[in-house]
Amino acid sequence: METWVLVTILAAALQTLRFGLQKQLKGLGLSTSGATFSRFIFAVPLAAAGCAVLMGLRGYPLPDLAPGFWLWVMMGGLGQIIATFCTVALFSERSFAVGIAFTKTETVQVAAFSMLLLGEAVSAPGLLAILVGLVGVLLLSRPKGGWGATGLFNRAMGLGLLAGGLFGLSAIGYRAATLAVPVDDPLFRATFALMCVTGFQTLAMALWLRLREPGEITRVVSIWRATLWVGVTGVLGSLGWFTAFTLQNAAYVRSLGQVELIFSLLVSILIFKERASLRELAGMALLALSIVGIVLAA
């Protein structure tokens, strides 16, 4: 099995764990913004430490970066912040597994963004596999009582579509940023880009919370025993995504990352005691078929 496949599966598992931890944070008195900020605040020192270790062990100097690198960093960083905010807000709308499913419209969107912004198109078999996965996602996303019960464009669908699009732009920004680091080592490129992105995200979120939600940063830090693990799983998962982006087209990486839905269903059933319907299981089956097709197409 190729390296990018293994790394992507690991990243998806860690992301599922991180979202589960963030869902629990809302029960500890944090706002949606505070739960989102916890994703970044502890990630910065961890990413910086990893980058410093690689530079020390392998003798890499600080890379000479073009201005375009920082534009990609900001696009990816802001996209992920807002997308994470939307995803955390989704947890109040639907069950954990189905809430995550809404965001997976990202797979089609990231394929389009990848072609438009980076000139990286997916193959016809790859696009077919992505579309099969989308059908599975729609089965998972269907509200109880059908689309007519809540309207096609209900709040949960809107949040999911927005999160998916922004996660897609974020993925493109991160792939472009990692490719802009002038070092051959994929792990160093991923770690360095991750350090820069998390630093930017922490600063942006801190300014937002300071202006809009005074005292929320203090609340995040006061329950550091819970928020620390969000940061640890977040930075490890992000390192996996960034490494995969250095090795493969972002559309294939994010499409394979739909395996997260299978992990989230297990979390939903085993931890949050939420039941899966036959329709949701059928959606999972299509999703699994899609994932196999994506790996073969890539």
The string of pLDDT tens digits covering residues 85-122 is 787 777 676 555 556 666 767 878 888 888 888 888 78
Q: What is d(CA 187, CA 191) in angstroms, rounded to the nearest whole number?
A: 6
Lowest mean pLDDT among 112-126, 148-162, 241-255, 281-295: 148-162
Per-residue pLDDT reduced to its tens digit, 149-204: 455 556 767 787 788 889 889 999 999 999 999 998 999 999 999 999 999 999 99
Chain centroid, CA 97 distance in Å = 15
> What is residue 117's predicted lDDT score, i.e. its pLDDT?
86
In terms of average pLDDT, the best of 110-124, 214-228, 233-247 is: 233-247
Q: What is d(CA 10, CA 228) in angstroms, rounded to the nearest whole number?
A: 20
> What is residue 93's predicted lDDT score, i.e. its pLDDT?
65
Domain residue limits at 286: 3-297
> What is residue 141's predicted lDDT score, i.e. its pLDDT?
63
Q: What is the mean pLDDT of the chain?
A: 82
Q: How many percent of the chain have pLDDT more than 90? A: 27
| Beta strands per DSSP E along 132-219 | none
Per-residue pLDDT reduced to its tens digit, 267-282: 777 776 777 678 777 8
Q: What is d(CA 62, CA 5) in angstroms, rounded to the nearest whole number?
A: 29
Spatial contact of 181 and 69, defined as CB atoms under 8 Å apart:
yes
Q: What is d(CA 248, CA 245) in angstroms, rounded to the nearest whole number?
A: 5
Q: What is d(CA 4, CA 149) in angstroms, rounded to the nearest whole number?
A: 41
Spatial contact of 77 and 263, defined as CB atoms under 8 Å apart:
no
> What is residue 79's predicted lDDT score, i.e. its pLDDT?
92
**Which two three-digit tokens encode residue 175?**
């792939």
> What is residue 121's predicted lDDT score, i.e. its pLDDT?
79
Q: How far is CA 123 from CA 111, 175, 251, 294, in A?
A: 10, 19, 11, 10
Residue of 56, 46, 44, 47 whose CA lies nearest to 204:
44
Lowest mean pLDDT among 176-185, 189-198, 234-243, 256-265: 256-265
257 vs 263 pLDDT, higher one: 257
> What is residue 71's predicted lDDT score, i.e. its pLDDT?
95
The structure's pTM equals 0.79
295 vs 66 pLDDT, higher one: 66
Q: How far is CA 298 from CA 59, 119, 128, 261, in A?
A: 33, 16, 12, 20
User: Count of domains in the chain?
Assistant: 1
- CB burial of 268-295 (b: ≥16 within 10 Å; e: otherwise) equals beeeeeeebeeebeebbebbbebbebbb
> What is residue 169's predicted lDDT score, i.e. its pLDDT?
92
Lowest mean pLDDT among 28-37, 146-155, 219-228, 283-292: 146-155
> What is residue 199's predicted lDDT score, i.e. its pLDDT?
93
